[in-house]
């Protein structure tokens, strides 16, 4: 699994962007301020209310696999931003930037993704 840390300024800017992502439930004190990056294969894009989830299978250094749950905005807002259920397809190779839960669980809030075809989803800086 690859991890790299964004700079703090970028992360703080993303806080404002993420307000609506966390509106359905509180994430106060639960989410790291800096982003990490994972690389894997999309298992499923759950384009459902009240929040969408991108399930990504990541191969660890020891060869085992971990399923990451990456929470994104409500589908309604995504539709207005030009995204749809086909934005991520099962089998897509992706690099995903997310702010992980402080518990260390394989989950977090979506910041952006870079797909194998070079397309950027969300923010990729």
Partner 1 sequence: MACLAPTGASAADLPAFSELPDWSGTWSRRGDTVFDHGTWTLNGVPADPNSPGASVSAPGTRANPPYNAEWEAIYQEHLALRDAGLFPDPLTRCISHGFPRIFNALAPVEFVVRPEQTWILAEHTRATMRIYTDGSEHPPVEERWHNFYGHSVGHWEDDTLVFTTVALKGWRDHDSVLDRSGLVLSDQAHATTRIRRTLEPNSNGTMEDLLLVEITLEDPVALTAPWVVEKRFYREPSGTRIFDYECNEYNRAIVDENGRSLILDEEGKVLNY
Q: Which backbone phi and psi does 117 adopt, to 5 degrees?
A: -85, 5
Q: How far is the CB of 62 from partner 1 (least distance, A)?
A: 21
Q: Is 12 left (phi over 0), alpha (psi -120 to 50) or beta?
A: alpha
Closer CB to partner 1, residue 15 or residue 116?
15
Question: Quick one: 39 or 55, whose CB is closer to partner 1?
Answer: 55
- For partner 1, the binding residues (CB under 8 A) are 15-16, 18-20, 22-31, 46, 48-51, 53, 67, 69, 71, 74-77, 79-80, 101, 103, 105-107
* Shortest distance in whole angstroms from residue 31 CB to partner 1: 7
Let me know: does 22 contact 109? Beta carbons within 8 Å. yes
> Least distance to partner 1 from the beta carbon of 12, Å?
9
Instruction: State the alpha helices, DSSP H only, in 40-120.
Output: 75-80
Q: Which residues contact 76 (CB under 8 A, 6 or more apart)?
A: 49
* Residue 8 CA from chain centroid, whole number: 18
Whichever of 19 and 64 has its CB closer to partner 1, that residue is: 19
Q: Which is nearer to partner 1, 17 or 119 (CB)?
A: 17
């Amino acid at each position: 699994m690859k991890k790299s840390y964004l700079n703090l300024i970028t992360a703080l800017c993303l806080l404002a962007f993420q307000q609506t992502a966390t509106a359905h439930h509180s994430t106060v004190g639960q989410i790291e301020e800096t982003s990490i990056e994972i690389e894997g294969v999309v298992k499923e894009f759950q384009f459902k209310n009240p929040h969408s989830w991108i399930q990504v299978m990541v191969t660890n250094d020891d060869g085992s696999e971990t399923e990451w749950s990456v929470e994104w905005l409500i589908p309604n807002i995504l539709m207005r931003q030009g995204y749809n259920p086909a934005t991520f397809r099962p089998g897509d190779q992706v690099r995903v930037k997310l702010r992980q839960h402080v518990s260390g669980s394989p989950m977090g809030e979506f910041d952006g993704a870079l797909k194998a075809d070079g397309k950027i989803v969300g923010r990729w800086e």
